[in-house]
Structure 1
Amino acid sequence: MTPARRLIPSLSALRALEALDRLGSASAVAEEMALTQSAISRQLQGLEEQLGVTLIRRDRKRLSLTSTAADYVVEVRAALNQIAQASIQLRVQPTGGSLNLAILPTFGMRWLVPRLPEFTHLHPDITVNLSTQLRPFSFDVEPFDAAIHFGQPDWRGTEALLLKTERVVPVAAPGLIAAVPDDPADLLKLPLLHIQTRPNAWQDWFARVGVSVSPPLPGMIYDQFSTITQAALHGLGVALMPEYLVEQELATGRLLPVHDHSVEANGAYYLVWPKTSSEDPVLRQFRDWLAQKAQPEDDLPR
């Protein structure tokens, strides 16, 4: 056995360390792992002895991680996630490939999912697993092969494929506005609704239409377009919405455009992936197929 092999701890001990960092108490770790607190304590002590490093602070029977252990557990968690994901893939589809994709909920459901049947027909041996993520994350820690991202193609350590640009328009319920304001600056007199993932959206819109504003702009904040749409429909304020998401509401008059200025959003939708995975065959097949769907003439489904 090589010296490096002798330093590989047991999986159970690593799970206990990771769980202690995540849950904060030995009792919670014991419950999650279906072991006694004494067994958890012995595993952690054995891990310290094997590595020759103090990992646990013991204060009146309360266990917590040292700063050294906190750094170590970041790497441990990434490794455990990778093992778990590999096991899931093997169980679900042992003979084929899979792609774990993080998506933005609204765009993923409205743009990607309607197109996925074509990919699965062309590549029946590949499973595409979808999970909602609202913000950028570390591919080193999270078990994703790629992600759909809105913004600029500046996600650190990644490469990107442009999927779609976007135009946004301010909308509100008819009961909120008596008439469409002549001056876009008049919108500042109305309650503005904000989307959490785009904190500067209103500021960018006002700049595009020639209105100077001083941030931050007040107003309610929502985490998803589905909730901000409902808020606008119920008259809570003016929402700055992608045109394709409110087409039906505008057509039926449930929402009105508060101003004629529809502008291109400061950002676009991208598929991003780690540079280190660029030549992965499953990712490459998905990326090549998606590039065909990302042409300007390929309109968003209604």
Structure 2
Amino acid sequence: MSSWNDRSPLPLRALQVFEAAARFQNFTAAGEDLGITQSAVSRKVSELEVILGVQLFQRSGPNLFLTPQGSALAVRVTYALGDLNRACAEVQPAAKSDVVTLSMLPSVAAKWLAPRLGQFTDLHPEIDLRISASRDLVDLRVNQIDGAIRYGAGQWLGLVAVWLGAETVCPVCAPDLIDKLGVTTPADLLYAPLLHADIVEDWAAWFRAAGLNDPQVPRGPKLGDDTAILQAALSGQGFALGRSQLVADDLQAGRLIAPFEVTLEASFSYWFVSPTEPGDNLSLVRDWVIKEFNRC
């Protein structure tokens, strides 16, 4: 079996096809997005697996899931391709007044914004919307960013902040994991694989809300980014504490389920911020974001 190293040429087309397959969790949908056949997607993914020497997808009946290696690669490839797209766009001539750049967390970009981008483009084809995804608190003025979707208490010095919405946190998992592990009560999760995040609303807090005093929360993988955590949950690796704004689409589509009604109120909310009162195009973007958050 061949393998890739840092002296080998990057299999860019295979990585592009893999990114689409990972995003849709479906080879047919990925092919439609790329304008190629389902079999072509399957071939490119197989080629990439041979090059890397790892399995990227696994099947469970009709369902397709990323392996842990596939999940890790998908996060990095998504960011890398996004950077390449932005680099190409930046060297193209464009009317400055038509460009709106938004900053947000990578998880918000991937799980909330990305599925809705087509709606925005259809509604406002005249606006060149660009996304800067970062876990760092970006200085909007220094980085020439027009606005941002931020997660916090709403107090950022020198910025105009508009409240978008709050959220709740609750356990989510792949649909077949419940029957596989025989989980029927919150206490059963004390013996299940748990995925941990760096949020205030942790598993100990949720177990207490579910009526379990002084729970001995089992250890498990801790992933710093919500995108990686939810991808691991989607591929059946364990239970995650899902933030309602980020899991809404997966719950609606049945890719994830929330087995218990016990929820935690999140400590922070989402806000739309800008250095000044937004101009025409940024106002259109802000109004659309507000509308979509209200719909969620």
**Where on the TM-score scale, by shorter chain, does this alignment land: which range?**
0.5 to 0.7
One-letter identity of the residue aligned with 2:233: A
Q: TM (normalized to structure 1)? A: 0.52
Note closer, same or farther for the CA distance 1:212–1:112 as it changes in structure 2 (3 Å cut).
Answer: same
Aligned residue number for residue 179 of structure 1: 183
Aligned residue number for residue 293 of structure 1: 292
One-letter identity of the residue aligned with 2:194: L
One-letter identity of the residue aligned with 1:103: M
Aligned residue number for residue 227 of structure 1: 228
Cα distance between partner residues in 2 of 1:92 and 1:199: 44
**Structure 1 residue 123: deviation in Å?**
4.5
Given that 1:89 and 1:98 are in contact with CA atoms closer than 8 Å, whether structure 2 keeps it comes out as no
One-letter identity of the residue aligned with 1:244: A
In the alignment, does 2:194 pair up with 1:192?
Answer: yes
Note closer, same or farther for the CA distance 1:143–1:206 as it changes in structure 2 (3 Å cut).
Answer: farther
Given that 2:207 and 2:215 are in contact with CA atoms closer than 8 Å, whether structure 1 keeps it comes out as no
What CA RMSD, in Å, does the superposition of the two structures yield over aligned residues? 3.8
How many pairs does the alignment contain? 203
In the alignment, does 2:155 pair up with 1:154?
Answer: yes
Q: Deviations over 1:170-210 (max 9, x none)?
A: 134237632322xx4554444431234x2544354345445
Given that 2:98 and 2:127 are in contact with CA atoms closer than 8 Å, whether structure 1 keeps it comes out as yes
Q: Deviations over 1:244-279 (max 9, x none)?
A: 154267x47xx66453313443333322223xx224
Q: Deviations over 1:22-65 (max 9, x none)?
A: xxxxxxxxxxxxxxxxxxxxxxxxxxxxxxxxxxxxxxxxxxxx
**Structure 1 residue 223: deviation in Å?**
3.3
Cα distance between partner residues in 1 of 2:215 and 2:289: 40
Aligned residue number for residue 284 of structure 1: 283
Aligned residue number for residue 46 of structure 1: none
Whichever of the two has the greater Rg, that structure is 1
Structure 1 unaligned regions, length at least 5: 1-84
Given that 1:168 and 1:263 are in contact with CA atoms closer than 8 Å, whether structure 2 keeps it comes out as yes
Cα distance between partner residues in 1 of 2:166 and 2:285: 20
Cα distance between partner residues in 2 of 1:104 and 1:135: 8
Q: Secondary structure at the match of 2:178?
A: coil
Q: Deviations over 1:79-138 (max 9, x none)?
A: xxxxxx9xx879531363321111333433444345445544554443211121134233
Aligned residue number for residue 143 of structure 2: 142
Q: Tell which deviates more after alignment, 211-220 or 140-149.
A: 211-220
Aligned residue number for residue 98 of structure 2: 97
Q: Secondary structure at the match of 2:181?
A: coil
In the alignment, does 2:248 pair up with 1:244?
Answer: yes
One-letter identity of the residue aligned with 1:283: L
Given that 2:183 and 2:189 are in contact with CA atoms closer than 8 Å, whether structure 1 keeps it comes out as no
Given that 2:103 and 2:132 are in contact with CA atoms closer than 8 Å, whether structure 1 keeps it comes out as yes
One-letter identity of the residue aligned with 1:174: I
Q: Secondary structure at the match of 1:112?
A: helix
Note closer, same or farther for the CA distance 1:175–1:101 as it changes in structure 2 (3 Å cut).
Answer: same
Given that 2:201 and 2:264 are in contact with CA atoms closer than 8 Å, whether structure 1 keeps it comes out as no
**Structure 1 residue 233: deviation in Å?**
4.8
Q: Secondary structure at the match of 1:227?
A: helix
Q: TM (normalized to structure 2)? A: 0.53
Aligned residue runs from structure 1 range 1-302, under 5 A: 92-94=93-95, 96-117=97-118, 119-120=120-121, 123-172=124-173, 173-174=177-178, 177-181=181-185, 184=186, 187-196=189-198, 198-211=199-212, 218-233=219-234, 236-241=237-242, 242=244, 243-247=247-251, 251=254, 257-274=258-275, 277-295=276-294, 298-299=295-296
Give me the identity figure in percent.
Answer: 31
Structure 2 unaligned regions, length at least 5: 1-85
Cα distance between partner residues in 2 of 1:282 and 1:257: 38
Q: Secondary structure at the match of 2:281?
A: helix
**Structure 1 residue 282: deviation in Å?**
3.4
**Structure 1 residue 153: deviation in Å?**
1.7
One-letter identity of the residue aligned with 1:247: L
One-letter identity of the residue aligned with 2:290: A
Cα distance between partner residues in 2 of 1:155 and 1:213: 36
Query: Quick check: which one's strand share is greater?
Result: 1
Cα distance between partner residues in 1 of 2:155 and 2:207: 24
Cα distance between partner residues in 2 of 1:178 and 1:216: 18
Q: Secondary structure at the match of 2:248?
A: helix
